[in-house]
Amino acid sequence: MVLKVKYLLLLCFCVLSNYSVFTQDLDSIELLLQGNNEYLMKVNDRLKIYDDLSWGYLNSNFEKSKFYGEKGLKLSAEEGDSIYLATFKRNLGVAYYMESRFDIALEYLNEALEITQETGNEALEARIYNALGNLYNRQSDYTPAIDFYMKSLTLHEKNRDKSEVGKVSGNMGVIYQKLRNFEQALKYFEQAEKIAKELDNRSSLASIYVSLSDINIYIDTNKAIEYAEESIDIFRELGNRFQEVDATLALAKVYYSNEEYIKAENVAMGALKIAEELEAPFLISQSYVDLSNIYYHQNKYKLSEHAAQTALEYDSTDVNLTSNMLYNITRSNIHMGNAEKAVEYLDKLRDQLDIYSNSEFQSALSELEVKYETEKKELRIEVLEKEKRLIWLLTVAIVALLLFALAFFIVRHRLTLSKHKLAEQQLMQLEKEKQLATVQAVLDGETAERSRLAKDLHDGLGSMLSVVKYNLPEMKTGVILEKESVERFRKAVDMLDDSIQELRRVAHHMMPESLIRFGLKASLADFCDAIPNAQFHYYGNEVRLDSKLEILLYRSVHELVNNAIKHANAEKIDVQIIQESDRISLVVQDDGFGFDTEAKRDGMGLDNIRKRVESYDGVMFISSNIGKGTEIHIELDLENNPIDENISNE
C-alpha cells in the first residue's frame, strides 16, 4: 500500500511538472514503468509518462527519446487519442531533425500538423509550427523557417502563452543573427530574455545567452565570455548536454576570435567529446568546423583541412557550416600549394553558394508575390521582414559572387605561375631528394662510426687503462717512496680512475648500451637523470622503433639539452616524448635566454637536427623569445618509419 502511495505521489508530481524538471529527474520517472507497474496504470497516465520521457531525453539520449516516442505513438493509435498521436509524432519529428535525418522528421511533423489542425488544438499546432521552423532553420532554409515561426508566434500571442512566445522570439533572433542582421536579432533576443526572466525559465535564458555571446564578440569580448560561461553552467545544471555543446562552442568562438587559440582548442575539444558521446552528427560537425577555424588561424593548414574534411563527412546539411568547411579546405590548400585540390573545392564552394542564393532568392520572390493574395492584417509585420531579407540575400549573393570571382582569378594566376615554374620545381625536388639521401647516408655512416669508436674505446683503450691501473700497485711493491712521491702516486692512480670513468661515459653517450638493449625510454631516462635540472616524461606505448630512428631521437635530445645548458643557461629543462601507433612526438622546453628565430645563427646544431629529421620525412618547429625560453617540437610519422619487429622490448 505504501509503495502504491509513493508511485501515485510521484505520478502526480510528473503530471503537474514542466519539461525543465523532467530533464533532471528522468531516471525517477522511468522507475514508474518497472515490472508490471507500466501496465497497471491508467492509459492517460502511461501516455503522459511516455510524453515526458520522449521529450525529456531529447537533450541527452536520442535513442531513448525515440523509444518512448514510438511506445506512445502505438498506445495513442490504439486508444484513438488524436491529441497524443499528434504530440508523439511531433516528439519523433524533433528527435529525427536533431539527428539531422530531415526527411523522416518532416514526414512526422507534417502528419502531426494535419492531425492537430483537425482537432483544433491551437496550442499544440503552434508548437508544431515552431518545430517546423527549427527544422528549416537547421537546413539554412530561412524563408519557410521565418514563415513557420510567425505562424507559431501569432497563435501563442493569441493564446497568451508567454513562455512559448519567448522561445519562438529567441528562434527568430537566431535566424537574423545568422544573417548578420544584429539589430533585428537583438530586438527578438531582448523580448525573449525579458519573458524568460519573468517566468524564471533558465533553459530559454541560457539559449539566449549563447546567441548574445556570439553577437558580443564584435562588441564586448568580456561580455561575450560571461554570456557563454553562464549558459554552460545553466545547461550543465539542467542536464541539457545537447545545448551544452552549443554553449561550449560559443565560448571557443570567443577565444579564437580574440586570438587565444590554445584556450579555444581546449574548449572546442571538450565540446567535441560531449557531441561524440551524444552521437549527434550535427554537433560533431559543428565542433570540427570550429577546430578547423582555430587551426587555420594558427597556420596549421594541414590540420585545418583535415578537421574540415571530417566535419563534411559527419554532416553537410547546414549551408553556413558547409560553406565554412569548403572555404577552409580551399584556402588551406592554397597555402600548402595544392593548386588542383584548391580549385576542386573552390568549385564546390561556388556550387554551394549558388544553391544557397538561388533557393533563398527564388523563395523570397515567391513569398513577395503571394503576400498580395493574403489578408492585409496577417501580412502587416511580414512584408517589412521579407523585403529586408530579400535585400540582404541580394547583398549576400553579390558579395559571394565577387569573392568567388576574386578567388577564381587568384587561383588561376597561381596556376599560371606554377606551370612556368614546374620544371624548376621538379629540379629543386630532385635536388632536395639528393640532399636527403646524402644526409641519410651520412647518418648511417655516423652511426656505424660511433658504434665502432664506442666499442674500441670501451673494449680496447678502456681495457688497457684498466690493466695499467691494476699493475700500478704491483710496481709500487718493494719500492720505498718518499712522502711526496707517495702522494703524487696516489693522485696519478685517482686521475687514472677518473680517466677510465670519463672514457666509459664518452663511450656510453656515443652509443649508449641502454638504448641498444632497452630502447629509447630507458636510455633517455638515464641521460636526463644524470642532469640535475632536466626532467623526462614519456607517454603512450613503448613499442621499439627502428634502431636508426631511436638513435636519431636520442642524439637530438642530447644536442638540444646540451644547447639549453651551455648556450641558454637554462635552470629547468623538460623533455617529453609522446608515442602513438602512427606517430612519435618529441618536445624539449627550457627557461633559458631564448633567441631570435629569424636571426642568422653561427652554430650548425639545430640545422643538423632539422636535416636529420627531414631525412625521415619529419618536421621540426622552433618557438623562442628572448628572455622567455625556447620550445622545440619534432614530429615523426611512424607509418613511413615502421617499428623494428626484430627488436625485443625486454
Comparing 300 with 648, which gets the higher pLDDT? 300
Question: In terms of domains, do 492 and 524 share one?
Answer: no
**What mean pLDDT comes out for the span 601-613?**
74
**Same-domain status, 589 and 497:** no
Q: What is the dihedral of CA 88, 92, 95, 99, to 10 degrees?
A: 180
| Phi, psi at 134, each rounded to 5° | -65, -40
pLDDT over threshold 90, residue 87: yes
Query: Could you tell me if residue 10 is inside a domain?
Result: yes
Domain termination site, one of 87, 119, 151:
119
> Which band of pLDDT confidence, cut at 50, 70 and 90, is reported for residue 127?
very high
Per-residue pLDDT band at 413 (split at 50, 70, 90)? confident
CA proximity to 560, closest of 547, 576, 548:
576
Check whether 20 has a pLDDT greater than 50. no
Residue-wise pLDDT for 505-529, tens only, equals 555 555 566 677 778 888 888 888 8
Q: What is the reported pLDDT for 455?
A: 54
User: Does residue 5 sit in the same domain as residue 43?
Assistant: yes
Mean pLDDT of 601-608: 68
Q: What confidence tens digit (pLDDT) does each residue in 259-293 have?
A: 898 988 898 899 899 888 888 888 888 889 899 89
**Considering the domain boundaries, does residue 533 fall inside one?**
yes
Residue 22 has a pLDDT of: 42
Q: What is the CATH number of the domain that holds 567?
A: 3.30.565.10
Model confidence band, residue 358 (pLDDT cutoffs 50, 70, 90): very low
- What share of the chain has pLDDT > 90, as a percent? 11
Domain coverage including residue 40: 1-119
Beta bridge mates, 536: 575
Whether 379 has a pLDDT exceeding 80, the answer reads no
Q: Do 94 and 18 share a structural domain? A: yes
Grouping H, G, I as helix, E, B as strand and the rest as coil, residue 545 is strand
Q: Which three cell numbers stand for residue 382?
A: 511580414
Distance CA 29, CA 49 (A): 7
CA distance linking residue 67 with residue 91, whole number of Å: 11
Confidence tier at 381 by pLDDT (50, 70, 90):
low
**What residues does 534 pair with on adjacent strands?**
573
Categorise residue 337: left if φ over 0, alpha if ψ from -120 to 50, beta otherwise: left
Res 16: pLDDT: 30
- Within-domain flag for 249: no
Among residues 100, 119, 138, the one where a domain terminates is: 119
Q: What is the mean pLDDT of the chain?
A: 77
In this prediction, residue 499 carries a pLDDT of 67
pTM for the full predicted model: 0.47
Angle formed at CA 608 by CA 607 and CA 613, multiple of 5 degrees = 95
Q: What is the mean pLDDT of residues 131-142?
A: 85
User: Is residue 477 scored above 70 in pLDDT?
Assistant: no
Reply yes or no on whether the pLDDT at 418 is more than 90: no
Q: Check whether residue 529 and residue 428 sit in a common domain.
A: no
* 471 and 546 together in one domain: no
pLDDT class for 110, splitting at 50, 70, 90? very high
8 A C-beta contact, residue 240 and residue 23: yes
541: confidence class by pLDDT, cuts 50, 70, 90: confident
- pLDDT, tens only, 484-508: 666 676 676 667 666 666 555 555 5
The pLDDT of residue 451:
57
- 240 contacts 203 by C-beta, under 8 angstroms: yes
| Lowest pLDDT segment from 109-113, 228-232, 310-314, 470-474 | 470-474
Asked if residue 225 has pLDDT above 70, the reply is yes
Residue 114 confidence (pLDDT): 92
206 or 339: which leads in pLDDT = 206
Is residue 441 located within the same domain as residue 553? no
Tell whether 222 is covered by a domain.
Answer: no
Q: What is the mean pLDDT of residues 532-537?
A: 88
Residue 109 maps to a domain: yes
pLDDT computed for residue 577 by the predictor:
92
| Residue pLDDT, tens place only, 570-580 | 889 999 999 88
557 and 524 within one domain: yes
Is residue 361 pLDDT above 50, yes or no?
no
Identify the pLDDT of residue 438.
Answer: 65
**What per-residue confidence (pLDDT) applies to 107?**
93
Give the model's pLDDT for residue 213.
86
The predicted pLDDT at position 144 comes to 86
- State pLDDT tens for residues 148-165: 988 888 888 888 888 888
> Is residue 135 domain-resident?
no
Q: Is the pLDDT of residue 588 over 90?
A: yes
pLDDT bucket at 109, cuts 50 / 70 / 90: very high
Q: Are residues 18 and 81 in the same domain?
A: yes
Please indicate, yes or no, if residue 112 is contained in any of the structural domains: yes
Task: Choose the final residue of a domain: 510, 531, 566.
Answer: 510
**573 burial level (CB within 10 Å; 0-12, 13-18, 19+):** buried
Domain identity same for 60 and 110: yes
- For residues 254 and 519, the model is more confident at 254
- Let me know whether 14 and 106 are in one domain: yes
CATH number of residue 333's parent domain? 1.25.40.10
pLDDT at residue 353, rounded to an integer: 64
pLDDT of residue 359: 47
Q: ∠ at Cα 303 (297, 304), nearest 5°?
A: 45
The reply to whether 137 falls in a domain is: no
Cell of 610: 632539422
Domain count, the chain: 4
- pLDDT value of residue 468: 61
Do 527 and 477 lie in one domain? The reply is no
The pLDDT score that the predictor gives to residue 60 is: 76
